[in-house]
Amino acid sequence: MITVRCEKTVVAGMSHNLRILHISDVHFSRFTSHEKNMQVTGEILDICKAHSGTLDAICVTGDLISRESGAESFADATALMQGLRAYAPAVFYSMGNHETDYPKKIRFSFLRQLERKKITILDNASVHYRGACFAGLTLPQSVFKNADSGFSDLRTIDVGLVTKCLGTCPEKPCILLAHSPMGFEAYREWGADVVLSGHVHGGIVRLGGIGFLSPERKFFPQYTKGIYTKTGCTMQVSAGIGKLRFGNPSEVVLMELHGFPREEGIHAT
């Protein structure tokens, strides 16, 4: 069962409020049956329907499919994304490490299918929408695995890498879709006000609110699930939906961004 986690934060300089549904790490693959994929799709769309008319945008932050996906998984993922369009005026999609592990020809074909379904692809790109900049960061594979497909000596996510991918921060306020949360300081330094991330699957195993393992086989990763803050920047990390997990429910996140200043004096939570 997919749970809904609700979060609120203040965004300085934003002229009005935004309500965003954040979806990450669905992981349709050849190891998940079409029937299972349709069950997950149905649960996600039911959540969207429950909030119909209230969402400003739906943001999908990568690993919609797994690297071992077949044609049926791509079709199921496309159907899910098409279904989302009925419940928000904009659906933004940025890629994760599983999408970028595909050859360019396969990856670009998938992205073109999504574009035909009116999905906004943020592949190291940004758009202005409802008074804010929405930017999507596509990180190189060297951040996630080395040349031998191992996890030692991985490339660090620093502000230089983010700028190389996206250029300078185009405008403020900026909402950054970045699959990996491990570059939080770099994202803040680059200029993001809000970061939406996933990738870590909540730490895979969670006990006592602590995530134990990252996809890079690192114990006790720094960012696993929830809200993290640094000066001028808030990062929301989703535990995601797919893959094996323990004590760690699948989730989507309903994120309310409140413009500041406001007479009500709302404070970040």
| Coil, strand or helix at 41 | helix
Exposure string for 49-60, b = 16+ CB within 10 A, e = fewer: eeeeeebbbbbb
Q: How high is the pLDDT of residue 261?
A: 61
* Contact (Cβ atoms closer than 8 angstroms) between residue 87 and residue 49: yes
Q: How high is the pLDDT of residue 266?
A: 42
Q: How high is the pLDDT of residue 103?
A: 92
Q: How high is the pLDDT of residue 268?
A: 40
The 10s digit of each residue's pLDDT in 102-149 is 999 999 999 999 999 999 999 999 999 999 999 999 999 999 988 777
The 10s digit of each residue's pLDDT in 78-109 is 999 999 999 999 999 999 999 999 999 999 99
Q: How high is the pLDDT of residue 145?
A: 85
| Structure-token pair, residue 66 | 């797994």
Give me the residues of the chain with pLDDT under 70, please. Answer: 261-269
DSSP assignment of 225-257, as one string?
SEEEEETTEEEEE---S-S--BS---EEEEEEE
Spatial separation of the C-alpha atoms in residues 77 and 30, rounded to whole Å:
12
State the first-to-last Cα distance of the chain, in angstroms, to the nearest integer. 26
Domain-wise residue ranges, the chain: 3-260
| Structure-token pair, residue 215 | 């996809």
Percent of the chain at pLDDT above 70? 97
Q: How high is the pLDDT of residue 141?
A: 93
Residues 6+ apart with CB under 8 A from 210: 203, 220, 224
Q: Any idea which fold 3-260 has?
A: Purple Acid Phosphatase; chain A, domain 2 (3.60.21)
